[in-house]
Structures are given as C-alpha cells and as structure tokens.
C-alpha cells in the first residue's frame, strides 16, 4: 500500500491573516512539501496540472524534475496530466525524460481535468473531451512501447515512422493511473490496458465513486489482467490533523469555510457526508479504514494537505503527522486486512522485474531508420558503416 500527498498548487488569501502567497512562494512551498514527504517516509508526491489562476502548476514536469533532484526515495506522480489539451507526443517525450531524470521514481496519472476554458485555450473542443482523452492515451501507450510508430487519428497530424525520444528508462514505460470521477469510458480504458484507476473523491459524498471503481474492477477481470480484487485502485482524500480533535476543527474551520469551493458549507456537515477528515490521528485512521471497507483492497491513498491557503508551516506539520502518526498504523492495519492475492502498486523496479526477470534490462539506442537530418549522417555510421548503405539520407 502506497501513501502520499498531492497538491493542486492553489493560491488564496489566508482568512486569518489576509496574507496571500506570491506565485514564487507557492512554488517553493510545494517543493518543501515534497521534501518533507520524502523525509518522513511517505511513498508518493503528486502534482496537478492547471493553466488558470489561482493555480500555478502549469508545467508539472519542470517542478517534478527539480523535486527529483532534491529528494531521495519518494515516487513522483501527477494528479492529473491533462490527456485532452496536451499533445500525446509531447507527453511521451516529456515524461520519458522525467523518468530518466528521476531514475525511475516516476509514474503518472492522466485525465481530462475539470476546467472548461482550458480546451479552447489549447485549440480543443470540450464537446470532444472524452474522445480526445481516449485517442490521445491510445497513442501515448503505443509511443512508449513501439520504437517506430505509424499512426493516424482524428485530433492531430499523422505520424509516419516516428520514434519518440528518449525511449523509456530500461524500455519500461512509467506506470499510468487513469484519474476519473464521472466517466465510465475512462474506467473502461484503464481496465483494457491493465492500468491503474484513481478516484479522487474529495469533493463528493462518501463512496459516490464506488460504482465507477466497481466497473473498472469488473472490466479489468474481463480483459484478463487478473481477478477484480487484483485491479490497481487509488483513492484521494483530504485531512487536517491535530493531537486533539477539537483543536483540529477550530484551526481548520476558517480555511474551509472561507474557501470559495466550500463557502456556505458547514465544516461538521461536510466531514460527516464526505471523505474529508478533520481530527486526531486516530480519527483519520478510522476514516481511511472505511475506504477499504467500502471500495475493497486498494493500492494507493493520497491526501491533499497544503491547499485552502494553509500557511506552509501548518502544511509541513500536516505532512509530518501523516508520516509519523497516521501512515505507520494504517500500513499495519491495512496489511492485516489485505486479501492474499492483492498486489502492491507497481513501481519501476517491479515492472522491470516483471519484464526481464533476472535478465538485463534493454537499453534502447538511436533508431537507424532515422539518422541525423541535419548533417546527413547516421548515428550508427561509426560503429557499422554497412548500415548506412541501407538507409541513405535524402538532402
């Protein structure tokens, strides 16, 4: 079972002080959250992608590349990478590069996002959002697994003899989670490929997304990837922790009740009806255990802990409490409850082992079909001149 934190990089005025972080401060603070999560032994740090104020993470690979350099063991991920408004060729290359930079400590979550204006900003039609997401991921899947791709679809120019570079580390693509809260087609696609499915249920009633998770599990089994209980499921959540329950409620109330998304809502009502947990470490543990009871055994639990204008010192304290007082007990309890055949979440190491066993991983080299279009030479010219004769370069 993996535990971690995710951030959407939102900026809002602190309702208790009136202070609003600058974009530069917010970016630095996200990095500090990732470092603290690594230090306290959490498994995952995930970053959203947004292109509209008041959010700042428009380039997840840039920030995650820096985080890779200042952390040691934590897995980096996204929550989510927009599969609709990004070019799948650019995603293939950017995240393969990041996978190399992070030395395998990377997976990614793909999804449609929830911001309507983003589509026309990137020349896309929101009415084709589901079709865009499906086709773009189908292409991404091939680009990471085929050295040379010929492809034609509905939403971008065709590809002829195309090789995305760099190739995935060890010729093993990053594991992909499909994030969705409303779209059965995305659950179907995740199941078809044997990928993970992530339900970020922080803004909906308790177990609202169980039917979607159940559909994914059923189709995962249908496609022959394993039994339904072996499907790879992740869940989101939001928590605020203090040693004493009432201290947590008193401290979190102004941030919750003054945040635009929750304005007009009463904190206690929201805590009762949704996965939000505000209270002692034991109360957070108890709430997460209900997730396992409702959704079944699952592989990844992420918490949102640094949003709603929380000061950075408070956010870092939340990460500390998660890592030291909540997650260790959750690991123990959930492991004792886990079914005998339920797998762990895939990692780069486990995927390499599954592909190669005890053999040496493949290290891709430049494709001799492509050559160097600038100088007219082949990357293989020095090592094997005979190859060049078969692939002349037209100038």
- Region of 111 please: left (phi>0), alpha (psi -120 to 50) or beta: beta
Task: Report all structural domains of the chain as residue ranges with CATH numbers, in order of start.
Answer: 2-362 (3.20.20.30), 365-395 (no CATH)
Instruction: Give the up-direction half-sphere exposure of residue 167: CA atoms within 13 A in the CB hemisphere.
Output: 17
- What does the alpha-carbon distance between residue 41 and residue 46 come to, in Å, rounded to a whole number? 15
Task: Indicate the DSSP class of residue 324.
Answer: I
Whole-structure pTM over 0.85, yes or no? yes
Residue at token pair 């104020």 = 53
Q: What are the structure tokens assigned to 1, written together? A: 């079972």
- Region of 162 please: left (phi>0), alpha (psi -120 to 50) or beta: beta
pLDDT of residue 279: 98
Beta strands 233-235 and 300-304 are parallel
- Sequence-ordered list of residues with C-beta below 8 angstroms from that of 116, at least 6 positions apart, any chain: 126
Q: What is the dihedral of CA 7, 271, 287, 278, to 10 degrees?
A: 60
- What does the alpha-carbon distance between residue 230 and residue 56 come to, in Å, rounded to a whole number? 36
- What does the alpha-carbon distance between residue 107 and residue 174 come to, in Å, rounded to a whole number? 5
Can you spell out the DSSP letters for 206-266?
TTTTHHHHHHHHHHHHHTTSS-GGGS-EEE--BEEE-SSHHHHHHHHHHHHHTSTTTTT--
Helix (H, G, I), strand (E, B) or coil at 333: helix
Q: What are the start-end ranges of the H helices in the chain?
A: 23-39, 60-70, 88-101, 118-121, 129-143, 184-193, 210-222, 245-257, 267-273, 281-295, 312-321, 327-337, 348-356, 385-390
Task: Indicate the DSSP class of residue 133.
Answer: H
Tens digit of each residue's pLDDT, the chain (395 residues): 999 999 999 999 999 999 999 999 999 999 999 999 999 999 999 999 999 999 999 999 999 999 999 999 999 999 999 999 999 999 999 999 999 999 999 999 999 977 788 889 999 999 999 999 999 999 999 999 999 999 999 999 999 999 999 999 999 999 999 999 889 999 999 999 999 999 988 889 999 999 999 999 999 999 999 999 999 999 999 999 999 999 999 999 999 999 999 999 999 999 999 999 999 999 999 999 999 999 999 999 999 999 999 999 999 999 999 999 999 999 999 999 999 999 999 999 999 999 999 999 999 987 665 544 444 444 444 444 443 343 333 33
* Sign of the dihedral defined by the CA atoms of residues 374, 375, 381, 383, in that order: negative
222 phi, psi to nearest 5 deg: -55, -40
pLDDT of residue 299: 98
Crossing angle between the packed helical segments 88-101 and 60-70, to the nearest 10 degrees: 10
> For the chain, what is the largest distance between any 2 Cα atoms, rounded to a whole number of angstroms?
77
pLDDT of residue 367: 62
């Amino acid at each position: 079972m993996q535990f971690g934190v995710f951030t959407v990089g939102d900026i809002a005025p602190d309702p208790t002080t009136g202070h609003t972080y600058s974009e530069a401060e917010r970016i630095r603070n996200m990095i500090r959250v990732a470092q603290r999560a690594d230090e306290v032994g959490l498994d995952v740090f995930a970053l959203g992608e947004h292109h509209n104020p008041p959010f700042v993470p428009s380039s997840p690979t840039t920030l995650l590349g820096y985080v890779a350099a200042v952390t040691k063991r934590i897995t980096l991920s996204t929550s989510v990478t927009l599969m609709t408004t990004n070019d799948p060729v650019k995603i293939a290359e950017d995240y393969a590069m990041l996978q190399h930079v992070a030395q395998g400590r990377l997976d990614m979550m793909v999804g449609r996002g929830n911001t309507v204006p983003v589509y026309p900003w990137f020349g896309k039609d929101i009415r084709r959002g589901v079709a865009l997401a499906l086709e773009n991921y189908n292409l991404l899947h091939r680009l990471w697994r085929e050295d040379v791709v010929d492809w034609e679809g509905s939403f971008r120019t065709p590809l002829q003899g195309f090789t995305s570079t760099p190739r995935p580390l060890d010729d093993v693509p990053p594991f992909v989670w499909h994030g969705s809260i409303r779209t059965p087609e995305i659950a179907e696609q995740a199941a078809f490929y044997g990928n993970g499915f992530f339900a970020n249920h922080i803004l909906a009633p308790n177990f609202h997304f169980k039917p979607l998770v159940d559909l994914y599990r059923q189709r995962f089994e249908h496609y022959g990837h394993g039994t339904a209980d072996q499907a790879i499921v992740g869940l989101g959540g939001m928590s605020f922790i203090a040693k004493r329950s009432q201290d947590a409620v008193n401290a979190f109330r102004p941030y919750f009740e003054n945040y635009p998304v929750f304005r007009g809502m009463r904190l206690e009502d929201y805590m009762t009806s949704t996965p939000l947990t505000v209270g002692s470490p034991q109360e957070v543990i108890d709430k997460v255990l209900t997730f396992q009871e409702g959704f079944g055994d699952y592989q990844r639990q992420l918490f949102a802990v640094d949003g709603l204008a929380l000061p950075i010192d408070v956010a870092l304290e939340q990460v500390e409490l998660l890592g030291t007082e909540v997650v260790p007990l959750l690991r123990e309890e959930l492991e004792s409850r886990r079914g005998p055949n339920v797998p762990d979440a895939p990692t780069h190491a486990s995927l390499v082992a599954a592909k190669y066993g005890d053999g040496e991983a493949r290290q891709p080299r430049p494709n001799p079909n492509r050559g160097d279009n600038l100088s007219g030479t082949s990357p293989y010219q020095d090592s094997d001149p005979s190859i060049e004769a078969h692939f002349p370069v037209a100038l």
